[in-house]
Chains A and B, each alone.
Chain A
Amino acid sequence: MDAFTTLTGVAAPLPMANVDTDKIIPARFLKTIKRTGLGKNLFDGLRYRPDGTENPDFVLNQEPYRKAEILIAHENFGCGSSREHAPWALLDFGIRCVIAPDFADIFHNNCFKNGILPVRLPREVCDALMEDARMGANARISIDLERQVVIRPNGEEIRFEVDPLRKHLLLNGLDDIGQTMAHAPQIDAYEAKRASERPWMPTIAVA
């Protein structure tokens, strides 16, 4: 996973609530066995017309948003399925940060595992940033994770909250499996305790 420290880039306005994971990446594109290559089908149903040509009305088909690294949306972003293909598709397109009033839990979690920073800010702040984003390349937005601020094009700094452990992992691009494996003795001890307290717990084997 790539570390996330600071980011300055074009932000795409997506003024929609309840952007679900089927909208982000429809199920028919989940047949890959890789994490990469999903960017071309990001927001497929919105981005392309039924004949496969680009829908010029969709923001990511417009300049300068084709190179957007930040996405600004409305409530409940990422609701629906647990598919990590959703953040993979965003990342493959080039999005490293999504700003919204709130996020669905699983999607929120999946972002952190892939070097994408989801930023929760109140709706009125998102609306102000949405207006900034509509100014396109003239209005680059910055995110400083260490200082936990979003910097508007006019220089105003907006503080956001982030879980300290997730921040640490993201800032350093750390694999949390390695971190957990350092606690293997505790996991061993838990398993031994469980075996004595709940000895009836069955194991699975397929005959």
Chain B
Amino acid sequence: MSGGKPRTLFDKIWDSHVVERLPDGTCILYIDRHLVHEVTSPQAFEGLRMARRQVRRPDATIAVADHNVPTSDRSQGIAEEESRIQVETLEKNVADFGVPYFPVADDRQGIVHIIGPEQGISLPGMTIVCGDSHTSTHGAMGALAFGIGTSEVEHVLATQTLLQKPAKNMRITVNGTMPFGTSAKDMVLAIIGRIGTAGGTGHVIEYAGEAVRALDMAGRMTVCNMSIEGGARAGLIAPDQTTFDYIKGRPYAPQGEDFDRAVAWWRTLPADPGAHYDTEIALDAAQIAPMVSWGTSPEDVLPITAAVPDPAELEDETRRAQVQRMLDYMGLQPRQKLTEVKVDVVFVGSCTNGRIEDLRAVASVAKGRKVAEGVRALVVPGSGIVKKQAEAEGIDRILLEAGFEWREPGCSMCLGMNPDKLTPGQRSASTSNRNFEGRQGPGGRTHLVSPAMAAAAAITGRLADVRELV
């Protein structure tokens, strides 16, 4: 422990999970929760078998299939052979090693980063890992949560620990109040635009400030989710009453007196006054507008009222070539107004924006309107529970009447491992997290937006300023 030195939230979680500090400073870090999915685990389980190792703590592990699952009718199983084999392999592995599993037909199935908080599996002060970079999502609970590779998945399965060195602390403070028509997605896109995709490399980002405190848990998850797009393996937000209210009563959360004891410990987690941050960034919420990405990196974002950059105006030669390549790929003209860019597909979903609050935001814009002709608009709830909740609220009917497709839960078009993908040259407005070349399908062109902005794009058939529709 640190002998009275003020500590950050990250420092406290780190210190309370160090099993042993090795001579070179590397720590054996204990892992409280390990989330497993079908894409990054088969080789890890195979490694365990070859070395005749067991899963050390199946009772700290939860598995679910999300990346490959079809989001259309599932009664016939998975048609695509490789996807089916990957899900069947997960099912065999969880059975062989006794790992808890939410089957595809279970209402609790969904995107791994949606279901962890939803089920009360992800809790404040925990260390949480998963073979997926968007594990940073769970940092919204006030947990240290980060993505790992498959070798590390195997390491955690076998030892319930990881070999890690502490990260640096970065604090991003968003002061003031978010303006009308903006959301947590606009906040995090603005942050990434500010710090760049490598801005958080080597750091854990703690989000703070009035505008962050004002976010509900869904919004906090959206912000923490995209920490990795800013280069940080983890993002976190200090737990507060909003967090505790969210957790209370969830199936896998502590219950009754245990909950009260847990809250007492969670209240000790926020940073001490005077705690040191290696890097400090501040943003004014009032300056944040509805954002949209124009390039093929999440740092290439602009307010919807802006125009596409002109490479000819850029001084740096490398950057000029990079921007030109992006415009060529994206099929955009220099100085073209973003609101003039037509879209073919709208995708609402993903671990970034697949929660009930996101679907409500889409429905509030779409209600009584119609999806523009020629636009395909998909809504993919983040979990079976989200889907049921939305149906109980009538959101499915609002969206179906407007002409959206209402699908089964999964990762879907965020990365196009299942049949939901863009065809070459197709352009999407997407609530997902990455606009890399080919991310949503080979040759596909992605514009990252908030759920409300996605709805506005669906209704108008182009990138549109949602403030003009509400």
Q: Which residues of A contact B (CB under 8 A)?
A: 17-18, 20, 22-23, 26-28, 30-35, 45, 50, 74-76, 79-84, 87, 102, 104-106, 109-110, 113-114, 163-165, 175-177, 180-181, 183-184, 186-187, 190-191, 194, 198-206
Contact = CB atoms under 8 A, between A and B. Distances in A.
Nearest to B265: A198
B30 A113 contact: no
A82 B202 contact: no
B114 to A, nearest CB: 16
B89 interface: yes
Given A84-B40, A176-B163, A32 B198 contact: no
A180 B24 CA distance: 15
B386 to A, nearest CB: 19
A129 to B, nearest CB: 16
B89 to A, nearest CB: 5
Nearest to B84: A31
Interface string B402-429: 0000000000000111000100100000
B291 interface: no
A68 B448 CA distance: 36
Nearest to B199: A76
Interface string B99-139: 01110000000000000000011000000000111010000
14 contacts: A27-B67, A27-B417, A27-B439, A28-B442, A33-B43, A33-B85, A34-B43, A45-B442, A79-B231, A83-B149, A84-B151, A113-B152, A187-B56, A194-B30
Interface string B53-76: 100101111100001100000000
B231 to A, nearest CB: 6
B155 A177 contact: yes
B442 A26 contact: yes
A39 B135 CA distance: 27
B121 A35 contact: no
A183 B20 contact: yes
A64 to B, nearest CB: 25
The 5 closest A-B pairs by CB, nearest first: A113-B151, A82-B147, A31-B82, A200-B258, A110-B149
A187 B162 CA distance: 11
A163 B24 contact: yes
Contacts of A84: 40, 43, 131, 149-151
Interface stretch (B175-183, B279-287, B430-438): B430-438
Nearest to A26: B438
Given A50-B443, A80-B434, A187-B160, 19 more contacts: A22-B436, A27-B417, A28-B416, A45-B437, A79-B197, A82-B149, A84-B131, A104-B198, A104-B201, A106-B148, A109-B148, A113-B152, A165-B26, A177-B154, A180-B155, A181-B158, A181-B159, A198-B262, A206-B62
Contact of A203 (B60, B68, B133, B154): B60
B102 A31 contact: no
Given A33-B86, A79-B197, A22 B442 contact: no
B307 interface: no
A41 to B, nearest CB: 12
Contact of B155 (A33, A176, A203): A176
Contacts of A50: 424, 442-443
Contacts of A102: 198, 201
B201 A30 contact: no
A204 B61 contact: yes
Contact of B252 (A79, A105, A177, A202): A202
Contact of B68 (A31, A165, A184, A200): A31
Contact of A204 (B46, B59, B82, B202): B59
B264 to A, nearest CB: 9
A87 B22 CA distance: 27
B195 interface: no
A114 B149 CA distance: 11
Contacts of B244: none
Contact of B233 (A35, A106, A191): A106
Contact of B438 (A45, A105, A176): A45
B45 to A, nearest CB: 9
Given A84-B40, A205-B100, A27 B24 contact: no
A205 B147 CA distance: 23
Nearest to A35: B43
A204 B62 contact: yes
B389 interface: no
A51 B202 CA distance: 40
Contacts of B154: 177
Q: Looking at A76, A82, A186, which has the most chain B CB atoms within 10 Å of its CB?
A: A82
